[in-house]
Amino acid sequence: MSCFTIQSKAKVFLENSSRAQSILTFVVLLGTCMVIGDGALTPAISVLSAVQRIQSRSAKIEQSHVVMISCAILLVLFLFQRFGTGASPHYMYLFFKRNGTKGWELLGAVTLCITGAEAMFADLGHFNKGSIQMAFSFLVYPALIVTYAGQGAYLIKNPENISTAFYSSVPGPVFWPVFIVATLAAIVASQALISASFSIIRQSMALGCFPRVNMIHTSNKHEGQVYSPEMNYFLMVACLIIMIGFQGGEEIGNAYGFAVIWVMIITTCLMTVVMLVIWNTKLILILAFFLFFFFFVGLYMIALINKVPKGPKEVYRCLIQYGYKDAPNMEGAEFVASVVEKLKEEIEDIDEMAMLESTASKGAVYVLGRTILKSSEKNEWVAHCVINYSYIFLQ
pLDDT digits (tens, 9 = 90+) for 166-199: 778 888 788 888 888 877 777 777 777 777 788 8
342-366 average pLDDT score = 68
State residue 232's pLDDT score. Answer: 84
Predicted confidence band at 391 (pLDDT cuts at 50, 70, 90)?
low
Predicted confidence band at 288 (pLDDT cuts at 50, 70, 90)?
very high
| Domain chopping of the chain, boundaries | 3-310, 315-394
The residues facing 216 across adjacent strands are 227
* Sign, CA torsion 148/151/157/163: negative
CA-based nearest residue to 340, from 324, 349, 329, 351: 324
Lowest mean pLDDT among 97-101, 225-229, 249-253: 97-101
State residue 291's pLDDT score. Answer: 92
Q: Does residue 394 carry a pLDDT above 70?
A: no
Q: Does residue 112 carry a pLDDT above 50?
A: no
Alpha helices in the chain (DSSP H): 3-16, 18-52, 63-79, 89-98, 103-115, 117-124, 129-135, 141-157, 165-168, 175-206, 229-246, 249-277, 283-307, 315-322, 332-346, 350-361, 381-384, 391-394
State residue 136's pLDDT score. Answer: 76
What does the pLDDT look like over 24-60, one tens digit per residue?
888 888 888 887 777 777 777 777 777 777 776 666 7
More confident residue, 367 or 234: 234
| Whole-angstrom distance, CA of residue 147 vs CA of residue 108 | 16
Question: What mean pLDDT, rounded, does the chain reach?
Answer: 71
